[in-house]
Amino acid sequence: MADPSLLRWFHGRITRDIAENCLQTTTSMDDGTYLLRESASEIGSYVLSVCKDKKVIHYAIQRQPSGMVGIADGPQFPGPVELVNHHKTSLGGLMTKLTYPCERPAGVKATAYKGISHDDLDEAIRTVLRTEGVVNEEAVRKFKVKMEYVVGNILHRQQPWFHGVIPRTEAERRLKSLSETGMFLIRERGSPRGSYVIGLFYQGGVYHYLFESNNQGQLSIKSGRSFDNLMAVVNFYSQKSEGLFCTLKRACEVSWFEFQPKTEIYKNILLHPEIQAELKKTLLLYEDELKKYRRVSRVERPPVPNRPVSRVSNQIDVKDTWVYEKIYDSKDIVKKEGFKNPFETQERETELDPKRLRLEHELGHGNFGSVVKGVYLLKNNKSVAVAVKTLKEEDIPGQKSEIVKEAEIMSKLDHPNIVRLIGVTQSPGFMLVMELAPQGPLHKFLKKNRNMNVLDILVLMLQVDEGMNYLESQHFVHRDLAARNVLVVSENFVKISDFGMSRAMGVGNEYYRAERAGKWPLKWYAPECIYYHKFSSKGDVWSYGITMWEAVSYGGKPYQGMRGPVIVEKLESGYRLPKPDNCSDAVYTLMLKCWETNPDDRPSFMEIGIILAQYIQNERVKKK
């Protein structure tokens, strides 16, 4: 089967209107003048647009269950190129033979989706197949349609217009701050997952269009046409308004608000551990077909991308091997209470029944109230130990609804190294109910356990990285990562806490600008957070470096004795925290990389995990 994207008369995924305009403006519209385009909504199907009597006739080319394609009641062919070649000499159901091709301008690539050419899509498919040991170009062509279903449902996650799970009010704020007709963004609804909302600014107002999935997994607005993925939605509505007030014009970029620098879209997102887990399940459907193309045997974990690592570290050798299982995915940890979600079997309720909650003794105080140990009775009558954060009413005036909304989103997050938020209760006072980590915050735990081996501490930091990697994949920015917010379940098991709620409590920028001592965690902040109040995962990476310094220092205080203005001045001059005692050069180099002034120069959490896991494994081998 020939690849249509290599031929100039294939125009990619364009709409009917654009195809007609192309034929009308670039050709004389003689009978038989034609172009081939992709179906706007259905992967693997095409449309043949042909001129006849100065009009354009559109023939749908449907893909059959056999994999062949054809026009209704016409002969079938291996692909659209073969179909076009056939109709150059035979009518076969057309009103005229195909004569003159309408070609794309020189240098213009066929569009797969808005901003993504077919060359880009092919490279994304190659990336996925390489993780399966498949490097054969024949396989790329053979599996192109199947793989487009797979990658098409992933690529939107790193598009500039995709803002993840944010509240409706925040989407409106972002669009109104720019007030440009046709500007748009897309957010994911926290519940139900798999549904999305386009926020569109039009003539002074923001309009929201809900796209939900049908039984076939396709997305559509009410009474609108269906699309196989979100990329196709944006591609279509960027060319045609059809049900919207206007076409989607300029993207409202998430990086303008969350300081997320552009990265290499396809390789980074498709090789992300969370994405790989999804891909692995899907590719099992094609296991038998892939076998004959596979160069090497399938592995349980895909290899780490083979790319230069000098940007991250020139002292740690990162090999194409995944070593997490060897380090902490052990039976001991898996059996720990809190590793598996005890609430996943019960129906989720953000607002909990206060009658099922019993409070016990106080565990400590926080900025917004106290933390109390409690017991929550599940619907299956099983009792689970919980931590209950009681909030001071004077600190949350008018914010309860926002906290409930944020809690609803956060309650959907599920990872062993994240403190799971169970829900809220408003009786007798406003309280957040969370998983219990009985050993308390990491910095206090390490102060009491100074005999703990540094490698074991780094294993805990590897778990913190895993939790942060998960938050990043879910488009969450922590904004307050520190050892005080890493809670210890046991000496070899930790969870990250206190993410997301500061935003819901209305303390956002005001909290971080406050002048009262202890209210502004400046010592953990990246420069762009201090100066521009821009928070991103790369800002969290800076905080991770400080948290690692705290951990390796056994709960030491960063910038001991320095006040805010002095810290800012020293950071500007290039000062960084000194290397802790008993800290290796390799680990300190990783910390320094986390503290690069330019966010683009900092490693991602995925890269940190690869480096740290390999370092731990190498050190363990040396000690044997």
What is the DSSP code string of 293-338?
TBSS---SSPPPP----TTT-SSS---S---HHHHT--HHHHTSTT
Angstrom distance (rounded) from CA 616 to CA 621:
9
DSSP annotation of 590 reads H
Same domain membership, residue 478 and residue 393: yes
Does the annotation place 361 within a ligand binding site?
no
Residue 119 in domain = no
- Among the listed residues 122, 228, 465, 480, the single catalytic one is 480
Do residues 559 and 612 make contact, with C-beta atoms less than 8 angstroms apart?
A: no
14 vs 103: CA distance, rounded Å: 14
Give the CA distances from residue 376 to residues 141, 229, 392, 425, in Å, rounded to whole numbers and listed in that order: 55, 40, 21, 12
Note whether residue 354 is domain-resident.
yes
Is 12 among the annotated ligand-binding positions? Answer: no
- Domain CATH number, residue 205: 3.30.505.10
Q: Would residue 464 count as lying in a domain?
A: yes
Q: What is the pLDDT of residue 314?
A: 35
Range with lowest mean pLDDT among 69-73, 276-280, 589-593: 276-280
Partnered with residue 362 across adjacent β-strands are 372
Q: For residue 86, say whether it is annotated as part of any ligand binding site.
A: no
What is residue 158's predicted lDDT score, i.e. its pLDDT? 81
| 198-201 contacts, C-beta under 8 A, 24 or more apart | 198/233, 198/237, 198/244, 198/248, 199/171, 199/172, 199/174, 199/175, 199/252, 200/175, 200/244, 200/245, 200/246, 200/248, 201/175, 201/176, 201/252
Question: What is the average per-residue pLDDT within 484-502?
Answer: 83
**Tokens 């957070």, located at residue:** 529
Average pLDDT of the segment spanning 560-574 = 85
When pLDDT is cut at 50, 70 and 90, the band that residue 210 belongs to is very high
Distance CA 525, CA 307 (A): 29
Which has the minimum average pLDDT: 49-63, 319-333, 399-413?
319-333
**Is a pLDDT exceeding 80 seen at residue 319?**
no
- Asked, for residue 140, whether it belongs to a domain, the answer is no
* Residue 351 or 586, more confident: 586
Is 367 marked as a binding-site residue?
A: yes
Portion of the chain with pLDDT greater than 70, in percent: 79
What 8-state DSSP symbol labels residue 108?
Answer: P
| Residue 164 to residue 420: CA distance in whole angstroms | 19
H helix or E strand, kind and range, residue 366 = strand 357-366
Residues 182 and 83 occupy one common structural domain: no
Read off the pLDDT of residues 229-276 as tens digits, 9 standing for 90 and up. Answer: 999 999 999 999 988 999 999 999 988 887 544 333 334 566 666 666
Q: Are residues 349 and 464 in the same domain?
A: yes
Give the separation between CA 135 and CA 188, rounded to whole angstroms: 34
In the predicted model, is pLDDT for residue 514 greater than 70? no
**115 occurs within a structural domain:** no
Answer with the residue of higher pLDDT: 589 or 6: 589
Boundary-marking domain end, from 232, 252, 272: 252
Residue pLDDT, tens place only, 374-396? 898 887 788 888 888 877 655 55
The two structure tokens encoding residue 597:
């002034």
Place of tokens 């370092």: 615
Active site includes 601? no
Considering the domain architecture, whether residues 456 and 590 belong to the same structural domain is answered as yes
- Going by pLDDT thresholds of 50, 70 and 90, the confidence category of residue 10 is very high
Mean pLDDT for the chain overall: 80
Asked, for residue 385, whether it belongs to a domain, the answer is yes
Low-confidence winner among 53-57, 118-122, 252-256, 270-274 (lowest mean pLDDT): 270-274
Higher pLDDT among residues 221 and 260, named by residue: 221
pLDDT of residue 622: 83
Q: Could you give the C-alpha distances from 513 to 118, 367, 530, in angstroms and in order? A: 47, 15, 9
The band of 500, judged by pLDDT with boundaries at 50, 70 and 90, is low
> Looking at this protein, which amino acid is placed at residue 385?
A
pLDDT attached to residue 155 = 85
* Contacts of residue 109, Cβ cutoff 8 Å, sequence gap at least 6: 12, 117, 118, 119
Domain identity same for 246 and 165: yes
pLDDT of residue 108: 86
d(CA 307, CA 305): 6
The pLDDT of residue 442 is above 70: yes
Asked if residues 493 and 339 have their Cβ atoms less than 8 Å apart, the reply is yes
- Could you tell me whether strands 69-71 and 34-38 are parallel, antiparallel, or unpaired per DSSP bridges? unpaired
Q: How far apart are CA 325 and CA 606, in angstroms?
A: 15
Least confident residue range of 134-143, 199-208, 261-270, 473-482: 261-270
Q: Which domain holds residue 12?
A: 4-108
Of 128-137, 201-210, 377-386, 469-478, the least confident: 128-137
What is the helix (H) or strand (E) element at residue 524, kind and residue range? none
Q: Is 389 annotated as a binding residue?
A: yes
- Clarify whether residues 377 and 466 are in a common domain: yes
Residue 133, marked binder: no
Residue 469 DSSP class:
H
Q: 412 - beta bridge partners?
A: none
Residue 172 in this model has a pLDDT that exceeds 60: yes
Say what the pLDDT of residue 333 is. Answer: 62
243 plus 330 within the same structural domain: no
When pLDDT is averaged across residues 215-219 and rounded to a whole number, the result is: 83
pLDDT value of position 454: 94
For residues 377 and 479, membership in a common domain is answered with yes
Instruction: Please report how the helices 605-623 and 585-594 are oriented relative to each other, as an axis angle in degrees rounded to 10.
Output: 170
Rounded-to-integer distance, Cα 155 and Cα 146, Å: 15
- Count: domains in the chain: 3
* 185 plus 99 within the same structural domain: no
Q: Are residues 235 and 336 both part of a single domain? A: no
| 320 falls within a domain | no
Tell me what the mean pLDDT of segment 457-472 comes to: 91
Last residue of a domain, one of 252, 286, 316: 252
On whether 363 is known to bind a ligand per the annotation, the reply is yes
Task: Indicate whether 201 pLDDT > 90.
Answer: yes
> Among 252, 268, 290, where does a domain finish?
252
132 or 399: which carries more pLDDT confidence? 132
Question: Does any domain span residue 523?
Answer: yes
Whether 129 shows a pLDDT value over 60: the answer reads yes
CATH number for the domain spanning 463: value is 1.10.510.10
Task: Kindly tell me if the per-residue pLDDT of 307 is higher than 50.
Answer: no
Shared domain for 173 and 98, answered yes or no, is no
The pLDDT value given to residue 392? 61
**pLDDT beyond 60 at 309:** no
Q: C-alpha angle 533/199/234, rounded to 5°?
A: 110
Nearest to 59 by CA among 85, 89, 37, 30: 37
In three-state secondary structure terms, 464 is helix
Asked whether the beta carbons of 149 and 283 are under 8 A apart, the reply is no
What's residue 377's pLDDT? 86
Query: For residue 617, which amino acid is it?
Result: Q
pLDDT band at 399 (very low <50, low <70, confident <90, very high): low
* 97 and 220 within one domain: no
